[in-house]
Homo-oligomer: A and B are copies of this chain.
Amino acid sequence: MSANTTNNTSAVLSLRWENGNLYILDQTRLPIEIVEIRLDSIEQVWEAIQQLRVRGAPAIGVAAAYGLVVGMKPLIHLDLDKFLVRLKENAGYLNSSRPTAVNLSWALRRMQDFATVQSPQVISASQLYARLVDEAVRIHQEDRAICRAIGENGLPLIRDGMGVLTHCNAGALATSELGTATAPLYLAHERGMRFRVYSDETRPLLQGARLTTWELQRAGLDVTLICDNMAAFVMSQGLVDLCIVGCDRVAANGDAANKIGTLGVAIIAQHYNIPFYVACPSSTVDLQTATGREIVIEERAADEVLFFGARRTGPEGAKVCNPSFDVTPHELIAGFITDRGIIQPPYAESLAQHFG
């Protein structure tokens, strides 16, 4: 691993592939230190995903595809058969870094399927390796294109002088570039529009404070950090004209699961007649899940709420509720900003039509 700081360009890059090497921005050190690390072995990639140095479903998928390539590089002198066996082993190993991350297993499955299709057409492991690199780059480029399409489709919602509130980090750091919820904001900023962004800090893990506020500020956007419980206040003051959040899963009826706290933002936005949009790639729409009621909410460790870093904030032995997600019912959602356009109600029909 080698470390160097990143440049001060527009939207930050969560990862990049350069001269056959994988670099990631270490998100565990943000916003205190800005350090890019080169991952030279599959073990380092595993550790980086497991430790959330790279995070966000799309970014994890891309990192895993490149990570598999990193792991296969020392093996290109093997026989093709042995190379394929090791490819499967390495994919299984990387997939164990965060077992519940859908994009992780999706990207690794795609790389393996690609290898299976390509292997009869190549004469060496080295040649197959080169094609795997190309496939990882394609996965990366596709993710970039999806974010850009979300940004272009959401751009008409942004108007000069408005205030936009977002929650958690559905930003560039969670994807290859531009983010999902932040993509329309980055594009509007690039085009010289002036608007304010309010970033909820997003307890308990503070992705909004540590990541969203940092990446928007760094790109020159006018961003104000607030505690989650201040969203109602800023909306009551007429400072917010639009909410855009990311999404982990959209059910067939339009109910949307996202980071804990999203539901409260949606309810408060409705109270003040502020349109509430959900930005997401097509892959997030899950027509197999009929409604939000079927989405199982992961309960995380109590200590995330009881401690802050090493410092105790809640009393010893306290009961804690720590759901990682909540489900926003479709009737609170003005539209889904996707790479296939803005999807509007009635969602049962519009989602099936665009993603069926």
A residues with a Cβ closer than 8 A to B are 30-32, 198, 200-204, 206, 209-210, 213-214, 217-218, 222-234, 236, 260-261, 263-264, 267-268, 270-271, 297, 305-306, 308-309, 311-323, 326-327
Contacts and interface: CB of A to CB of B under 8 A. Distances in A.
A229 B308 contact: no
B236 A326 contact: yes
A268 B234 CA distance: 16
A71 to B, nearest CB: 34
- A-B CB proximity, top 4 nearest: A229-B261, A232-B264, A31-B315, A228-B229
B315 A232 contact: no
B267 A225 contact: no
A264 B231 contact: yes
A196 to B, nearest CB: 9
Contact of A263 (B233, B263, B323): B233
How many copies of the chain does the oligomer comprise? 2
Contacts of A234: 321
A260 B236 CA distance: 12
A210 B311 contact: no
A335 B38 CA distance: 60
Contacts of A230: 260-261, 321-323, 326
A226 B316 CA distance: 14
A142 B90 CA distance: 72
Contact of A309 (B209, B263, B308): B308
Nearest to A228: B229
Contacts of A321: 198, 224-226, 230, 233-234
Contacts of A314: 31, 201, 209-210, 213-214, 225
B225 A305 contact: yes
